[in-house]
Amino acid sequence: MERVRVAIVGASGYTGAELVRLLLQHPRADITALVAKERVTPKASTVLPSLAGVLDLPIERLDPESLAAKADVAFCALPHGASIEAVTALHARGLRVFDLSADFRLADPAVYAKWYGAEHAAQSLLPQAVYGLCEHNRDALAGATLVAVPGCYPTASTLPLLPLVRAGLVKIDETVVIHALSGVSGAGRTPAPSTHFSECSEGIRPYKVAGTHRHTPEIEQTLSRAAGREVRVTFTPTLVPMTRGILSTSYVTPSRDVTVESLVECAREFFRASPSVTVLDPGALPDTLWVRGSNRAHVAYALDAHANKIVCMATIDNLVKGASGQAIQCMNLSLGWDEGLGLRAPAMWP
């Protein structure tokens, strides 16, 4: 059986730790290197206690030449902006690279500069980067050597909308309204006042509202590609007091008469080849608990006849289908393997 040697760059963060957990269960992946900018240690369990007795590799500083000798595949789970240099160096040395930051998601460098406040330092690589929303871009991922793994909010927000947009069932000349709630792990492992337990455990707060969240252009890019024309969204993210999970709710106007049953049928056909997405029966509503710890996405629809709106809903685990699990799904597709390899475990319950 063909196997790959895998390096995880940014292994000490939440998405890096989740990559380790999932890859240890992958039948064709061997973790051969762990890398971090901080928390370098001779024993990974020092900073990732869940690995005690499971994986004893050191966490090292990035040395692209050394890493290229140890690995065939690299997952980069570094912060936005910090990932460009590592991705460029590793890709140039022949590694297949899956980047979990936003650095290669936006095709237009001017859009990147506007939303991330800096010129893109590797613009020549942008045309080579394949956007890794597997259910939308499956064919392009085959053989890809540089993959931009989607953000957690864009994944949860676009999955229920894509089937309807592709089928022409919504009025795309109207702004798409999206409200998404996320657990605090989406903010990363570095402590901050807004994600400190005592400041978030008893409250729910919106943040970066009115078109200021950096995932807005990524959502618009994905929907515009599906529609074949520009789509505008208004996106409101909200922090809720839980560790994992995203619930996205979107509101669109139907372009013709539809029923919930026809929407479900449309989405089930669209996701027919996906091992990860389940479209719930009419009347069923998604719950983040049902996907926690898994690479699952639950999609559901409702009709608001009074307001003439379709309500599109989805739940994912932001660290799995919203990050590390989807990155592994991308690796499977790029290598020509079963898309769901190592990712079919159900959610943790309860």
Which residues belong to the active site?
152
- Non-local (6+) Cβ contacts of 16 within 8 A are 8, 9, 10, 34, 36, 75, 77, 324
CA distance 255 to 124: 39
Side-chain half-sphere of 127: how many Cα atoms within 13 Å?
1
β-strand partners of 304: 309
**How far apart, in whole angstroms, are the C-alpha atoms of residue 309 and residue 41?**
53
Give the single-character DSSP code of 123: G
Strand partners, 233: 176
Contact 307, 6 (CB under 8 A): no
Cα–Cα distance measured from residue 178 to residue 169, given in angstroms and rounded to the nearest whole number: 17
C-alpha dihedral (227, 233, 239, 244), degrees to nearest 10: 0
| Other CB atoms within 10 A of residue 168 CB | 11
Which amino acid does the sequence have at 33?
A
Which is nearest to 189 in space by CA: 17, 52, 54, 60? 17
Q: Strand 146-148 and strand 96-99: pairing?
A: parallel
Instruction: For the chain, list the strands marked E by DSSP.
Output: 4-9, 29-35, 59-60, 73-76, 96-99, 130-131, 146-148, 176-182, 205-206, 233-239, 246-252, 277-279, 297-304, 309-316
